[in-house]
Amino acid sequence: MTTQHRVRGSTWRVILRWIPALLLIGATIALYASGLATDISFDNIQANEVRLRAEVAAAPIVALTVFVGLYAVATAAFVPVGLVLMLAGGFLFGPLVGTGATIVGSTLGAIIAYVAARFAAGDRIRAMLNRSRWRGLMAGFEQAPFRYLLTLRLVPLSPFGLVNVAAGCARAPFKPYVAATAVGAIPYSFIYSYLGAGLGQAFLGDPTPDASILLRPQVAWPLLALALVSLVSGRLKRREQTL
């Protein structure tokens, strides 16, 4: 094989390696350019509640598929609408179906981002991350991937998208990565879906409720559960840091 052929082969390998990342960047641009990324808000969902519920009732499987797909793409593309979509899942589909849909959507989105980062990141990028302030994160993926990832998934306000990319760059084992992501999504998906369903019930009785809505059981119980999960996950993070 000539030097020219080797150079061409190397160039094509680099291009192919970056295709998943480029497709993901394209999806991000499309979501913002279409206005969909900024239109996804709980206020808009509430304002269009009647139409959305009618569409879900008319074609529940299609609506659920679209919801899961949108959740996955938004998660992978770093569009910060996960909280809104978790609430919307319970609001539109009910707490149990909403929980399942958000777990599947967030896990698929995390897999897409992981694959894109893993293909794009070469040895040079991984070596650079290992020498940066990310080296602790990279070491955690190597030493105890499932436990470490599960802790990161449960910690409140953890940078979900950055963890996906870092895990891909570090080449964290795929099965523990998927398992920890799916298990870690359960508590928050469950709580926010129930909260969304509770808010939906409250809005049916009063479209413009006051602060007393927080005292209603269907809203107060999910908020209490959220506080407890945040407390427990905070303790888990501190324990992980001392190990």
What does the pLDDT look like over 17-67, one tens digit per residue? 778 888 888 888 988 888 888 888 888 888 888 899 899 999 999 999 999
> Domain for residue 133, yes or no?
yes
> Domain for residue 157, yes or no?
yes
- Residues 6 or more apart whose CB falls under 8 angstroms from that of 38 comprise 32
> Domain for residue 90, yes or no?
yes
Q: Is the pLDDT of residue 202 over 70?
A: no
> Domain for residue 3, yes or no?
no
Please give the average per-residue pLDDT across 169-174, as a whole number: 87
> Domain for residue 2, yes or no?
no
> Domain for residue 201, yes or no?
yes
Report the number of distinct structural domains present in the chain.
1
> Domain for residue 12, yes or no?
no
Please give the average per-residue pLDDT across 164-189, as a whole number: 90
Domain that holds residue 108: 20-242
CA dist list (Å): 181 to 14, 33, 106, 107, 188: 29, 29, 8, 6, 12
> Domain for residue 8, yes or no?
no
Output the pLDDT for position 204: 59
**Which carries the bigger pLDDT value, residue 185 or residue 206?**
185
